[in-house]
Structures are given as structure tokens and as C-alpha cells.
Structure 1
Amino acid sequence: MSVLSSVASSSAAPTSEGSLFRLSKSTLVSPLVNMKYHNGPVLTPKIRVYLIWYGKWQASQQAIIRDFFHSIASPSPSPSVRAWWSTVQLYTDQTGAHISDSLGIAAERTDLYSHGKTLTRMTTQAVIKRSLKPYNGSLPVDARGGVYMVLTSEDVLQQDFCSAACGFHYFTYSSIVGFTLPYAWIGNSAKQCADTCAYPFAVPFYMAPTIQPLKAPNGDIGVDGMISVIGHELAEMSSNPLINAWFAGTDPEAPTEIADLCEGMYGTGAGGGYAGMVAQDKRGASYNVNGVRGRRFLVQWLWNPVKKICSGPNAAA
């Protein structure tokens, strides 16, 4: 549910387009992981994403994030974001219906610090409430297929940010918002803890200079780091929107969800704090999936319930 970026390292970087580097020979494969369905709903209808841009955002930053969402349902060169999402689609509800392959941004709203520059989990829900039409906001109440994402700019503090979470998802309380809606928060860590939440695009001070950071594919360490966390939370919201669908373990208050099992894993050979094999473009930027308009992203792998392995579309044959 919450995610802290795992530590990875690179001892050698490639110089040619599409080349790969290996960080570890280990791979997480386990038939013992009990990823179980608990009979709750999953997002089988068209998934409509409502973005709340909290704080001040550059247009270039918003464009990167929008392109990631657009890439989920759009064809792109292999390995693609769309193929990455196909792992999420392996999860079904009790009728056998699969999570939707149709996903898009339904509406957006800008919130210039309505609750200040320090948020808690409860005030994050208040931000969502303020954004809804029944409370004079601009976003509809969409309880069937709608997910709400509060994205905070680099100057906004969030409860547990950096120390315990880079993002989280849950559902809104009717006592606060008036409705039960799946939502997530993800923060831009560029000025607060890039070495934790934007790793491997930044490294902790105690690791330098022997471990070199990877170059961000879109040239923005904070936002490129957010992309992987957004993907993490989006996959989990879709498969466990009300915390009663897909997760491992017996405690719904601390579930191990389909992205939690694969934190820090971006390619073949990942595990034990290593990112795995990923490609580099001509500029030396690292990525593992292609998106729309020539975009490239580095997103973590997800738990495949059929193969019982963390997997992604860039896995080596």
C-alpha cells in the first residue's frame, strides 16, 4: 500500500541504444506467496482517473505524468507501458471479470495549497472533498470506476513522507468526504528525499561515490521517480480499491499488495536491492518501458498471479 523505493546499484553503464546492464543474478520467484482474493470489488469498468495537482507544478512536469497515464491504454513500441499494465489485468473479480484495459484521465483540478504545505492522511481526504462538485469543486463523485490521485509538489510535506512512504492508497471516509472513493497520494521527492523516493535516479549520501545514480528518462528526477510510485499505487488501487480484494497476508490493515512484492525490481536479475537489467537510450538515460509520443519510463515490476513471479514486459527471454 505504501512504498519506499528500494536501493539499487549499477557498476557498469551501457553506451549504446537499447543495451542492457545486469545488476544481480538473483530473481524473486516464489510459489509460496499467497496472493489471495478476498471477494471485494476490483476495477473492471473503464478506469477514470481524477488528478488533483496540489501545490505549484510546471507544465513540463504535468506533461510527463499525463503521458504516462495516456500510455496505459495506448499502443507504443515494445516493451510498452500498455504491456506492463497487462499484468494488472490478470486479476479478476468474483465473476471472473478482469481489471479494465481502458484507463484515462477523466478530469483534473489545481489546488494551490488549500490546506497549507503540510498534509496528513486526513487532510489529504479533505483536499479531495474540496475538489468535488457537491462541495463547490469541479470533480464529479465517481464511485464506479473512478480513482482520485492527489499529487503534491516538491515543497509540500506529507505525513510519513520519506520516512515510511513515497505514496499510499486507501479509500475516503464517508465521515470526512461524504463518499467512499478510492484515492492515492504521491509526492514529488526532489527537494526532500530523492535518494529514498526517486532512487535509482538519486543515491543516499552514504553510498556515493561508489554507486552511481541512473539518469532519469525524462530529465526530471522528482517526476521520473514519481512515475514508478504512481504506477505502484495505480496497480494496487485497481486490484484492491477498498482493501478487501487482492492482497497477501491476513491483515487488511497491513496488506501486501501486487506491487509491494516487487518494490525496487525493474528488470531481469533484480532482487536484494538491485534494480535488474534495464535499457539505456542514446543520452544514457535508463528506462524499461516505452510510452506515447516517444516517452520512456522506469516503472517497477508487478506480481504475476499466474507465473507467481515479479514480472514486466522487459523481462529477458
Structure 2
Amino acid sequence: MSLGCAGRFSEPSALVLLGLTILTLFLSSVPVSAWRPWPNATVANGSDLIFGNSKKYEGSSEFVRLKYHMGPVLTANITVHTIWYGTWQREQKKIIREFISSISADHSRHPSVSEWWKTVRLYTDQTGANISRTVRIGSEKNDRFYSHGKTLTRLSIQSVIKSAVTAKTKPLPISPQSGLYLLLTSDDVYVQDFCRQVCGFHYFTFPSIVGYTLPYAWVGNSAKLCPGMCAYPFAVPNYIPGLKALKSPNGDVGVDGMISVIGHEIAELASNPLVNAWYAGQDPSFPVEIADLCEGIYGTGGGGSYTGQLLDGRDGATYNLNGIRRRFLVQWIWNHLLGYCTGPNALDQ
């Protein structure tokens, strides 16, 4: 087991943590689904929640008010259509493809990516239908020549998606009900707010730009721009002296850092595709979603500067989930039935 960065610097008091949680939930100014693995505020541990013989503490708080706002969730089989924007190596694509394929792989070794997805599947629509258990890879589009430049805004991201679905040759299919459009930018592309506030985000396309309302997510490769911000704990912030980075499970710090962000965004797209389904807070422009509530928590005891208890491979790499053939580090998801963050690598499971 890995103890991550525990004990390297002092933790704030429980009272301060509680204050930060309340402030984060109700005064957040981060854009929709903006996320970064290095937390800017810690979710406070609340009362002793007991489920059967299992005691859970990670992220639990009586102040969390996650609600269903009657919008759709992705109950049909989910197909991920990927846009590879910029320069990508074949091995980098393989890592990301296997993570997506592992979501529905029932026979992966415990703790597995498919077991992690079971928490996402707990969320339902107004008919009681659960989020689909099936997440599969759909069509892909390569944009090797940076058709919209190497600096993208939030609106130009939608223009990239439009180009992909309206291309003269092999356009991505239009699937508003079950399609999920994943735009991945290479390590030499800067996106608005990247590294300062976000490592990825999700939203839906505007018909005035794309012609359709399609749920989409963007995630960037931070390897050259800000690995200490978006590839933590495989890279660490420069402003924390003495903090040692952990070894990434697939040998690519930027891509291994992307995996958790991709998981974060797919989970939130499935449970809140049009920003009117599952979230906490009163303002849908600033929702706190099912993955936001577990920011920075990857294992038992996680929170604040500490990832939680992780697994160490024989090669020294750190991970918490097994895929079909590879290993990954993916943050936990909020379980609304129990009121805390959960993951299959919890020590009491």
C-alpha cells in the first residue's frame, strides 16, 4: 500500500475544513464541471456513517445536498465518440481507449474500473431507470493539423466538434440520446482556463454553433503546460518543496493524469448531461456534481493533500483500479444513497 504524501505537511483543523467545504459548495466560481486533481479545498469528514459493518468517512458530510432536478441521464448504452486534436502517439491512444473499454469489462481484476462505474450507475432518471452499464468506444476523428489553431476558447471547442460531425469524409455520427463526444487536446494545445482553473470540463453543444445539442467533454494533456496541476500525483506542484511524485502506471505522466479527468467527466456527463439532472447547489451555472464532491479522493482516508490509500505495483507504479490489461488511477465518485465518496479499492471492502 502507498501512503501517498501523508505526513509531509500539516493538515488544517476540522473546523477550517468544514468552512472550506461550505464555501466551496455555495460560493464556487469555477465554470461548469471544471476540475483539477489537486484540490483547492478539502471536503470535510462528517459524522460517523455506518452501512452494514462498513464505516465510511471519505468526503462524508451532512452539509452536502445533492439533488435530482428531473433532467435526463444517459440510460441508453453510451457510445464515446473521440476527437484526437493535435499530435498523438499510438501508445497514448491505446491507454485512453483501454480505460474507456474497461468501464464495461466485467472480468477485470478487482478492484476494477467496471466496479468503479457501479457507483455512477446508482443514479437514475425520473422513471427510475439507471445509468447504462455499457460504455463503448464509437467513431474517432483525427485533427492532426490543428484546424482551429493551438489556442482554443470554450466556443471554439464547439466549433471543433462541429467540424468533426460535419466533415465531408467519415464524419462522427449524430447521437444526441446516447452519444458522448470526447475532445482530447495534445500537450501543445492551450484551452481557455487550462492549468489556471481547469484540466477538463463538460457541457452540451449549442444548436446555433453545431446544429445539434450534444453532450461533450474536453480534457487536455498537461504534460508540457502544467503537470503538477493536472497530472497529480504523477507530477507535483513546484510550490510544495519536498513532495515526491508517484510513478505513473502506464509510463506516460500526461496521459495517466488525463485518465482520472476523463473518468470524472464521463461520470458527470452520464449523470448530468444537460446540466439539469444530478447536482448540488442552487445554480445550474455552477453545479457541484457527483465527481466534484470527491475531488482529490482516490482511496481510503483521502482528502485535502492526501490521495488516500493506493496500490503499489511490483514495478513501483501507483494505481487504484485495474482495467482489461492496464492499471489506472481514478478518483472516487459520490454515492448519493450512502452520502459519501466510494471506490472499489476501499480497505474495508
Q: What TM-score does the superposition give when structure 1 sets the normalisation length?
A: 0.92
Q: Percent identity?
A: 58
Aligned pairs (5 A) from 1:28-47 = 28-47=59-78
Deviation at 1:135, TM superposition (A): 6.2
Q: What is the identity, as a one-letter code, of the residue corresponding to 1:124?
A: I
Alignment partner, residue 88 of structure 2 = 57
Deviation at 1:114, TM superposition (A): 0.6
Higher mean displacement: 66-75 or 26-35:
26-35
Alignment partner, residue 250 of structure 2 = 218
Structure 1: gaps spanning 5 or more residues: 9-24
Alignment partner, residue 286 of structure 1 = 318
Deviation string, structure 1 residues 10-40 (Cα, Å, up to 9, x no partner): xxxxxxxxxxxxxxx9732123311100000
Q: Are 1:91 and 2:85 counterparts?
A: no
Alpha-carbon RMSD: 1.4
Work out the number of aligned pairs and report it.
299
Aligned pairs (5 A) from 1:1-317 = 1-6=33-38, 27-74=58-105, 75-112=107-144, 113-133=146-166, 138-208=171-241, 210-293=242-325, 295-317=326-348
Q: What is the identity, as a one-letter code, of the residue corresponding to 1:150?
A: L
Alpha-carbon contact 1:301-1:311 (below 8 Å) kept: yes
Quote the Cα distance in structure 1 between the aligned partners of 2:77 and 2:166. 21
Quote the Cα distance in structure 2 between the aligned partners of 1:137 and 1:49. 16
Alpha-carbon contact 2:151-2:191 (below 8 Å) kept: yes
Alpha-carbon contact 2:79-2:135 (below 8 Å) kept: yes
Quote the Cα distance in structure 2 between the aligned partners of 1:308 and 1:47. 26
Q: What is the identity, as a one-letter code, of the residue corresponding to 1:223?
A: V
Give secondary structure in 1 for the equivalent of 2:293. Answer: helix
Alpha-carbon contact 1:130-1:137 (below 8 Å) kept: no
Alpha-carbon contact 1:130-1:136 (below 8 Å) kept: no
Q: What TM-score does the superposition give when structure 2 sets the normalisation length?
A: 0.84
Deviation at 1:133, TM superposition (A): 3.9
Structure 2: gaps spanning 5 or more residues: 1-32, 41-55
Deviation string, structure 1 residues 148-192 (Cα, Å, up to 9, x no partner): 010000000000000010000000000000100000100000000
Distance 1:184 1:148, change over 3 A: same
Quote the Cα distance in structure 2 between the aligned partners of 1:292 and 1:107. 20
Quote the Cα distance in structure 2 between the aligned partners of 1:133 and 1:197. 31
Deviation at 1:306, TM superposition (A): 1.0
Alpha-carbon contact 2:57-2:340 (below 8 Å) kept: no
Q: What is the identity, as a one-letter code, of the residue corresponding to 2:274?
A: L
Deviation string, structure 1 residues 41-62 (Cα, Å, up to 9, x no partner): 0000000100000001000000
